[in-house]
Amino acid sequence: MASHMYELKKGIFKENPTFIIMLGMCPTLGVSTQVSNALGMGASVLFVLFFSNIVISMLRKVIPDTIRIPSYIVVIASFVTIVEMVLHAFVPSVYAALGVYLPLIVVNCIILGRAEAFANKNTVLDSALDAIGMGIGFTLSLTLIALIREIFGAGTITLFPMGSFSGVITIPGLSESPVRVLTLAAGALLVMGYLKAFFQWKTSRSEKA
Amino acid sequence: MNTILKTGITLFLICALSSGLCGIVNSITAPLIAANVEKETLEARQVVSGGYEIGAGIESDDPLIASIMELTDGGERVGFELELLGSGYGGEFTIIASYLLDGTLLEAKMMANGETPGLGKKAEESWYMDMFKGKGGDTPLPGNKNDLDDPSLVSGASVTFNGVSNALRYGSEFVRNFKEV
């Protein structure tokens, strides 16, 4: 039981895919301009990671070693295609916002990395738990970066419209004079760098303790 | 031989199951996606009409023009609204554009496209089409970025700009030479 819990929790902080393992940097920097994009991308990666890890773990004894990478890519690409179709049909605004980054989930290092490094060698349950933990860790990291970039770079927090709520929370003071550089590519790297430094400091502190 | 056969069959089965699953999801989502695209197109048509009434559709046999709608004012034809097909850096795109009868561009909106965010994707923003608006009649539409007052606006995305310009100029030419069949 303890080992199952470890598989679930490790991706959230100790082996966080963004800040510790440093995987999936391209979408992290690309879509973290708005919180809604980060949540949409995070949920999409979580979905693809969860199902691809389960399928790959189930087929790990069937897939010959020589064709394992093409097989993983086919499985991952199928789930990405499904996510694309579902988002396009039910949440077209998120589909449009994620744009080219959505099909690029196929080559997201987190997904192929977890398939090769974990699902390929572990049981279905552990692989599913690993996917949930890593997916949540990725979503939280992406949302944290997007939150900082959007609050300080645009003075807003963009969520999803619901009923009379437009989906955009405007922050007085910051919306009139935002730090625009944070919404640009350079801002993404700056925020990422500071957060990485913070995580590094936190990890080294807990190791010393 | 057995190993090659086993490997081939395994890969075939994985591909067959994956495409089967995608096919099932597609059969559920395709009608919803089509409805979304239709709704988006209708909204864009209203925005692009420039305040004129959208009249009857005219059948198009031009491979670069997906649809032609008449623009009327008090029942009188004043121009056309075209659904133009073009090609940019990210592949094919669609533009809905309205023109006066002399080929002057009234409004245009970039629809489905695969352009790069931050570069060619700028063509979706309203200021982008402002570079073309009001031209095409007496004043020619810009053919390349050097025809613009500020070419730096489209730097890094010249292929997209040329694609948009070609499509809009084609539309303008089409409207100027339009003859009822």
Sign of CA dihedral A38, A43, A46, A48: negative
d(CA A14, CA A36): 26
Give B80 to chain A, closest Cα distance, Å.
Answer: 28
For chain A, give every domain's residue range.
2-144
d(CA A114, CA A49): 8
Cβ distance of A64 and B10 shorter than 8 Å: yes
> Tokens for A106?
């196929």
pLDDT score, position B1: 67
Q: What are phi and psi of A29, to 5 degrees?
A: -80, -30
Q: Which residue ranges of chain B lie beneath pLDDT 50?
A: none
* Interface membership of A186 toward B (CB under 8 Å): no
With bands split at pLDDT 50, 70 and 90, how would you rate the model's confidence at A28? confident
Name the residue type at position A136: I
Contacts of A185 in chain B (CB under 8 A): 118
pLDDT score, position A137: 95
| Residue B52 Cα distances to B44, B49, B66, B79, B172, angstroms | 13, 6, 21, 9, 18
pLDDT score, position A97: 72
Q: Which of B14, B26, B28, B43 to mutate to test the interface with A (most CBs of A within 10 A)?
A: B14
d(CA A193, CA B111): 36
A123-133: pLDDT as tens digits? 999 999 999 99
Provide the β-strand partners of residue B70. B80
Query: DSSP secondary structure string, A86-111?
Result: HHHHH-HHHHHHHGGGTGGGGG-HHH
Q: Tell me which of A94-103, A200-209, B34-43 is least confident.
A: A94-103
* Interface membership of A85 toward B (CB under 8 Å): yes
Instruction: Indicate the SS3 state at residue A125.
Output: helix
Beta carbons of B97 and B168 less than 8 angstroms apart: yes
Of residues A26 and A70, more confidently modeled: A70
Contacts of A88 in chain B (CB under 8 A): 29, 33, 36
d(CA A186, CA A193): 11
| Residue B105 Cα distances to A129, A194, B40, B53, B89, angstroms | 56, 48, 21, 16, 23
Q: Which of B5, B6, B33 to mutate to test the interface with A (most CBs of A within 10 A)?
A: B33
* Interface membership of B9 toward A (CB under 8 Å): no
Cβ distance of B36 and A92 shorter than 8 Å: yes
ipTM of the complex in this document: 0.72
pLDDT score, position A149: 93
* Interface membership of B10 toward A (CB under 8 Å): yes
Give percent of chain A above pLDDT 70.
100
For chain B, give every domain's residue range.
47-176
Beta carbons of B75 and A127 less than 8 angstroms apart: no
Angle between helices A35-58 and A124-154 (to 10 degrees): 170
Q: Which of A31, A37, A58, A74 to mutate to test the interface with B (most CBs of B within 10 A)?
A: A74
Name the residue type at position B43: E
Mean pLDDT for chain A overall:
89
Cβ distance of A82 and B3 shorter than 8 Å: no
User: Nearest-CA residue of chain B relative to A81?
Assistant: B22
pLDDT score, position A163: 76
d(CA A85, CA A78): 11
pLDDT score, position A3: 81
**Angle, alpha carbons A54-A56-A58 (nearest 5°):** 70
